[in-house]
Amino acid sequence: DGGITQSPKYLFRKEGQNVTLSCEQNLNHDAMYWYRQDPGQGLRLIYYSQIVNDFQKGDIAEGYSVSREKKESFPLTVTSAQKNPTAFYLCASSAGVNTEAFFGQGTRLTVV
């Protein structure tokens, strides 16, 4: 089936550890995005990428890093520099600029 796959669905980490969230899509989409959602809040953009080997910071990039080595993959690393990493992380992809995006099922990260 075509779609976006995020893994794992739930992730627990100790404070101070880096953690990488996976996002893979087989929709042949050029653009990919990472958003963060906190309880009762909207989605905030962390990073986005319009083409392979290129990405831009979103509104809350501090404490996060990404790579886009392959069109279908856009992993997000939550580093120890991120002050409040516990959140719901959503990956999305779209065919191109100004087109609708489709989301993966999300990863709930809890840092203790």
- 52 lines the binding site for other proteins (CB under 8 A): no
By CB under 8 A, is residue 7 in contact with other proteins? no
Is 42 among the residues that bind other proteins (CB under 8 A)?
Answer: yes
Beta-strand runs (E) in 1-112? 4-7, 10-13, 19-25, 31-37, 43-51, 54-57, 64-66, 76-78, 87-94, 101-103, 107-111
Structure tokens belonging to residue 110: 């809890």
18 binds other proteins (CB under 8 A): no
Residue 5 interacting with other proteins (CB under 8 A): no
Site track 63-102 with other proteins (rule: CB under 8 A), x = hit: -------------------------x-x-x-x-xxxxxxx
Amino acid at 22: S
